[in-house]
Structure 1
């Protein structure tokens, strides 16, 4: 199983989601993250994301930002988007219905969160990053529950 987490710049939400998801699935699963923009390409996650993850014993410090590519739609089985705008951008890059079916809004895995978004903590402080971590933790736990035997 190959899972891709996507946010805008791939420095806050999706790196956290990648790090959390990797703690929930076996090593033979491939989990990665990407952004819909390339502004931060090659950069490490935001220092606040790294610190928040470290506070929960997860190391995301070696991750590097990258933009989503057309190849990702062939490689990944499931693509989770952090908000509606990101999802619209991701869907616009798909070539067919099979690829579109791989894309979903991350928070919808929790069932009662239709159209709910993972807020972007970039303009906030550590409290916002912790709140995002907790949302991602719940969602990643649910995804693992759904995909693991």
Structure 2
């Protein structure tokens, strides 16, 4: 199974989800991440993302990239962090809606969106980590 995590810029939420998933998954499961926007192509994850991952013993060597047409064929499951990105993904891959879901559909504490921590602080990044970890462990 191949899973793709998608957020807007691909430097906070989706690379964090990718790193958590790959850290916890066995070799039969692999994940990647990307953004719907081209803001951070080639960039490393936000330093605060790396900080919270390191705190939990997770290494992340991700480089930002944008969602590509071939992703719809390559991945079995595409998880959007929020409704805006969900709509962008569905517009880009109209024939692949069966593969696309919101990340928090897997959160045992309830559906909703993964908040973007970009304009927040360490507490916000930890909150996102907790949401993603819960959702991935389900």
Q: CA deviation at 1:28?
A: 3.2
Q: Hey, what does 1:35 align to over in structure 2?
A: 35
Q: How many angstroms does 1:129 deviate by? A: 0.2
Task: State the alpha-carbon separation in 2 of the partners of residues 92 and 25 from structure 1.
Answer: 30
TM-score normalised by structure 1 residue count? 0.89
CA distance in structure 2 between the aligned counterparts of 1:85 and 1:77, rounded to whole angstroms: 21
Shift of 1:32: 0.2
Given that 2:18 and 2:33 are in contact with CA atoms closer than 8 Å, whether structure 1 keeps it comes out as yes
- The answer as to whether partners of 2:12 and 2:116 remain within 8 angstroms in 1 is yes
Task: Provide the residue aligned with 1:54 in structure 2.
Answer: 54
Choose which of 94, 98, 102 in structure 2 pairs with 1:101.
Answer: 98
Is the aligned partner of 1:113 residue 2:110?
yes
SS at match of 1:33: strand
What RMSD in Å do the two structures reach over aligned CA positions?
Answer: 1.1
Contact 2:108 2:135 in 1 (8 A): no
Q: State the distance in 1 between where 2:48 and 2:15 align.
A: 11
> Structure 1, residues 63-119: CA drift from partner, whole Å, max 9, x if none?
1000000100000000000000000000100141xx1100000001136634x0000
Aligned length: 138
Secondary structure at the counterpart of residue 68 of structure 1 = coil
Q: Secondary structure at the match of 2:34?
A: strand
